[in-house]
Amino acid sequence: MRAFVLSKYQAEVEEQEVPEPTIGEHDVLIAIEAAGLNHLDERIRTGEFKAILPYKMPLILGHDLAGTVLSVGSKVQNFQVGDKVYGRPRDFHIGTFAERIAVNENDIALAPTSITTAEAASLPLVALTAWQALVEIANVQPGHKVLIHAGAGGVGNFAIQLAKHLGAHVATTASAKNKEFLLELGADEVIDYRSQDFSTVLSDFDVVLDTLGGENLLKSLHILRKGGIAVGISGPPTPEFAADAGLNPIVRLATAALSFKTRRRAKQLGVSYQFLFMHASGAQLKKITTLIDDNLIRPVVGETLPFTQIPAALKSLDNSTVRGKTVFSSNL
């Protein structure tokens, strides 16, 4: 089958002929009809995450998929041939930039029926990230005040809608040109990061979802109320994360050093910081499917491209001005 392969870190991905996937007894073989593009793909390509995700090369990139079940393993119980599914394969089993993939049945769900295949492919990684940050970790409740950074991005626009569904007052940072779009999604406040300093405008928030890291994260700690929490998805990783992930002692020491300043600042302010590296979950996707099909949350696809554009899209990802997600479709 054809796939887009990374031969070594920092190399460009190349279209190649590769062996067919091996199907385990709990796996579902899926014909990939659409795949989403994520910043995680580019960070893996450049080697930025190799301490956390030490992949062996060559590697097929891609973390989001939507497609049709072609066959199922002998112990698969929840899916059958012909099902329309979507999902985010678990780490070390990724590879959605390909014609087919074998995925553990626990990592996928039946796709929403109210949206297109491309829209379904845009959802898994960003939707699971928002769910795990706001529901699992922060336990957002009605009346909570939630700040979501980079609201026009893939994670941000889904997180705004989810936080609003949970009953929160939602603020977000974005460029002025995206203000009306984000208000339509449910944001109560849109802070123009080019002309306003959110840390001087906002205060007493319960939750911050930080997608940017660095100084932005440190400033975010100051707008939290006592006992509030900042959830970071760009880092820095924490010792707790490193321990839970089973990383080696050297990496654990490195994460402790990287996050020391952030953890110390949080402790001084009486707030907490938690690093989130999202995990695959078909069970959570099933709940997200219900939200989509009940018209409570809508996917935002900024552009749909043919699979042949994967190498160029990866290279330009950090400079992209696309609102929402970029999706690759086999129909183009």
Query: Does residue 322 have a pLDDT over 90?
Result: no
Residue 332 pLDDT > 80: no
In sequence order, the β-bridge partners of residue 192 are 174
DSSP state of 20: P
Quick one: pLDDT band at residue 235, thresholds 50, 70, 90?
confident
The single-letter DSSP state of residue 291 is: H
Domain locations along the chain: 2-123+299-329, 125-275
- Could you tell me if 153 and 301 are in contact, meaning their C-beta atoms sit under 8 angstroms apart? no
In this predicted model, what pLDDT tens digit does every residue of 296-306 receive, in sequence order? 999 999 999 99
Burial of 168 (0-12, 13-18, 19+ CB in 10 A): buried
Confidence of residue 245 (pLDDT cuts 50, 70, 90): confident
- Distance set, CA 146 to CA 4, 120, 134, 149, 183 (Å): 38, 26, 9, 10, 15
CB-based contact 116:140 (threshold 8 Å): no
For the segment 41-58, what is each residue's pLDDT rounded down to a tens digit?
A: 999 999 999 988 999 999
Q: What is the mean pLDDT of residues 116-140?
A: 98
pLDDT of residue 90: 97
Q: Is the pLDDT of residue 184 over 80?
A: yes
pLDDT tier for residue 68 given thresholds of 50, 70 and 90: very high
Say which residues have a Cβ less than 8 Å from residue 55's Cβ, sequence separation at least 6: 44, 92
| Mean pLDDT, residues 222-241 taken together | 95
| Burial of 100 per CB tally in 10 Å (0-12, 13-18, 19+) | buried
Q: Which CATH superfamily is domain 2-123+299-329 in?
A: Medium-chain alcohol dehydrogenases, catalytic domain (3.90.180.10)
Rounded to whole angstroms, how far apart are CA atoms 129 and 195? 28
Per-residue confidence band for 39, with pLDDT thresholds at 50, 70 and 90: very high
Q: So what CATH class is 125-275? A: alpha beta
DSSP count for the chain of H helices, then E strands: 11, 16
pTM of the model: 0.96
